[in-house]
Chains A and B, each alone.
Chain A
Amino acid sequence: MNLAYRDVRHNLFRFVLTCLGLGLLMSVVLAMIGIYNGLVADALNLVKAPQADLWVVESGTKGPFAEASRIPEDTREAVERLHGVSEAGNITYQTVEAPFAGKTLRLYVIGYERDRPGGPGDVVEGRKIVQSHFELVADRDTGLIPGDTIRLGRNRFKVVGLVEDTMNSGGDPVVFVTLADAQTLQSQLAPPAARVQAARGASAEIAKTVAAVVARLDANADIDAVARTVRQWKHLSAMTQADQEQLLIKSVVDRARRQIGLFLGILLTVSAVVIALIIYTMTMEKLKQIATLKLIGAPDRTIVGLIVQQAIALGMVGWAFGLVLITLTKDGFPRRVLLEPYNAAVLAGIILVVCIAASGLGVRAALKVDPATAIGG
């Protein structure tokens, strides 16, 4: 005869309501974990997208994500000629705001060379860019669909394909355009002073620079050796893919990551306090029954079992509610909420520990109950 189960069944409505409340709290915890993961994943996806082994950037910078980087466009040809490099591609990054369907879309524009590293990965709908100009591949989160046209700078671009889960660390969805278009977009978006410079003949410098060169190496190439060779050019620096990923996590998203991590810690602490209070209150309401159980000869383990089992049931059902809720709603969040089964399992483990620890207050109160209180007087 499981007393915890019977008590829960007897007060099922109240138990479910309590679990729902706890489930909402759990969903916020899971959302924070998902946002945290999404932030890191988005940042890394952007770096991983070109499937590069080496990033060649401006010397003295940690570009192109942590710092601005600008190198001559023809650097790519020099890099491509290095021993061990199988292919290389120029790449540019910039953020633009573009009007579309009565709204303003904030987009992260990546310019790349067709048939070279740096372009979109898997196009899930439509096709890749095949024209030299005015075509783009957009992330699905932009709300664009193949066939749409959107004005970027002075030109209209036709959406020809869609990719998924491609955003920058700020959550802005990515659009891919050709390198030439991206360079034009950069010059067109420059402030009037820059255009004046361009009118004086300086436009070539603006148009013919890129943010980085991404290179893929032969299978047997020594990445560090190639990087060292690149660094011998005084105006260039080179980072391996691992360096770039590490830099993003340590530098670009670090503050946001720590902020969310801290908030997550606070949420878990609040959850622990709430669970402890709920269990303590539930126990205090049952003191007379606990005294009666003790009086009729129930051992301490029966009393402890009653409280701990209910605490665990509360936590686990709350966790399940939270998981269902966040699974159903995560796609509605403005930023990507990325929940791995591993995260949910770890949270379940944490909640289990929190419930057992939180039930300590209730257990302590229950064990202190004098069985004589059942008799009264």
Chain B
Amino acid sequence: MSGQTRDAIVEIRGLSKHYGEGHTRVDALRDLDLTVRAGEVVALLGPSGSGKTTLLNIIGCIVEPTVGNIRLDGEEVYDNRWLRGDLRRLRLDKIGFIFQFHNLLPFLNARDNVAVVLRLAGKSGPEAQRRATELLDYLEVGSRKDSMPALLSGGEAQRVAIARALANSPRIILADEPTAALDSKRAGIVMDLLRKLAAEHDACIIAVTHDEKIYDRFDRLFHLRDGRLDGAEGDQK
């Protein structure tokens, strides 16, 4: 992939995050630089407590960094311009989330789980339903659109979750252990799907994973240790 020539969607410079002060201070992330471009699928690797989730939360506009600059799809996020409501809007418009255990709302069927994001973004009911159906068909789970999450298999539920993440055509997709609940075959299918989506939607995908079997599906692997990235921009695969 010619990543270097494409738009930088996530740009992080001098990012640090610490919790507490004095002797209770914990440095979760230290002086971190990272650039992820459109179409790239990258992985955040590292042992527990290395700061992967903190970094994912900061990129996801959930946690504010202590210092540093972040630009998401050209928008300067942490420069005191953004209010909490704006961050919510930014998440809704530009970021899609995929979770380890799909996190589908159990009281909505598959189609409505996707449509809810579109409704939150202001789409009309019929339009949201139509788009949700299209996405589910595209992800080959259209036949299960009326099923409740409890009746979906792990792979189907994760596809519905991916459809939800894609609903507002975000430029950034953040995935937390997206294949952890799947067997290796389905994990491979999901990763191939994510790669395809990144390419087709001109989006980037940043995933936290421990699943070594799928490392070869990523364009780049970033190793985090004690809040630092190994290498200035992570290891190129």
Interface residues of A (CB under 8 A from B): 1, 3, 6-7, 9-11, 288-289, 292-299, 302, 370-372, 374-377
Chain A nearest Cβ from B3, distance in angstroms = 25
Closest to A289 in B: B105
Q: Which B residues have a C-beta under 8 Å from some C-beta of A?
A: 52-53, 56-57, 60, 62-63, 85, 88-89, 91-93, 97, 99-100, 103, 105-108, 112, 115-117, 119-121, 125, 128, 148, 164, 174, 176, 208
Q: Which of A6, A10, A374 contacts B99 (CB 8 A)?
A: A374
Instruction: List 17 interface pairs A-B (beta carbons < 8 Å), by A numbering.
Output: A1-B108, A1-B125, A3-B116, A6-B108, A10-B106, A11-B107, A289-B103, A292-B103, A293-B116, A296-B164, A297-B92, A302-B120, A370-B62, A372-B53, A375-B174, A376-B99, A376-B176
Q: Give the 10 A-B CB pairs with smallest separation, nearest first.
A: A297-B92, A377-B53, A10-B107, A7-B107, A292-B103, A372-B62, A6-B107, A297-B91, A375-B176, A372-B57
Asked if B97 and A9 sit within 8 Å, CB to CB, the answer is no
Question: A12 → chain B, closest Cβ, in Å?
Answer: 10
Closest to B125 in A: A1
- State the CA gap A296–B161 with chains docked (Å): 11
Nearest residue in A to B164 (C-beta to C-beta)?
A: A296
Chain A's closest residue to B84 (CB) is A300
Q: Hey, which chain A residues are within 8 Å of B208, CB to CB? A: 377
Q: Which of B91, B107, B108, B125 is within 8 Å of A295, CB to CB?
A: B91
Partner of A375, one of B60, B106, B112: B60
How many Å lie between the Cα of A289 and that of B102 in the bound state? Answer: 11
Contact A289 B106 (CB under 8 A): yes
- Assess the A296–B107 pair: CB atoms within 8 A: no
- Distance A1 CA – B128 CA, assembled complex (angstroms): 10
A297 and B176: CB pair below 8 A? Answer: no
In the complex, the answer to whether B85 meets A296 with C-beta atoms within 8 Å is no
Q: In the complex, what residues of B have CB within 8 A of residue A302's CB?
A: 120
Bound CA–CA A293/B116 (angstroms):
9
Shortest beta-carbon distance, B125 to chain A, in Å? 7
Chain A nearest CB, measured from B227 CB (Å): 14
When distances are taken between beta carbons in the complex, the residues of chain B under 8 Å from A6 are: 107-108, 112
A9 touches B176 (CB 8 A): no
Contact status A374-B97, CB under 8 Å = yes
B121 A297 Cβ-Cβ under 8 A: yes
A289 to B106, CA, bound (A): 8
User: Which residues in B have their C-beta under 8 angstroms from that of A292?
Assistant: 99, 103, 105
Complex Cα gap A288–B105 (Å): 9
Q: Are B57 and A375 closer than 8 Å at their CB atoms?
A: yes
Chain A minimum-CB-distance residue to B105: A289
Q: How far is the CA of A336 from the CA of B183 in the complex (A)?
A: 68
CA distance A372 to B103 in the complex (A): 13
Known: A7-B107, A295-B60. A376 touches B100 (CB 8 A): yes
Which of chain A's residues have a CB closer than 8 A to the CB of B121?
Answer: 297
Question: Are A295 and B120 in touch, CB under 8 angstroms?
Answer: no
- Distance in angstroms between the alpha carbons of A295 and B88 in the assembled complex: 8
A372 touches B107 (CB 8 A): no
In the complex, are the beta carbons of B125 and A293 less than 8 A apart?
no
Find chain A residues with CB under 8 A from B63 CB.
372
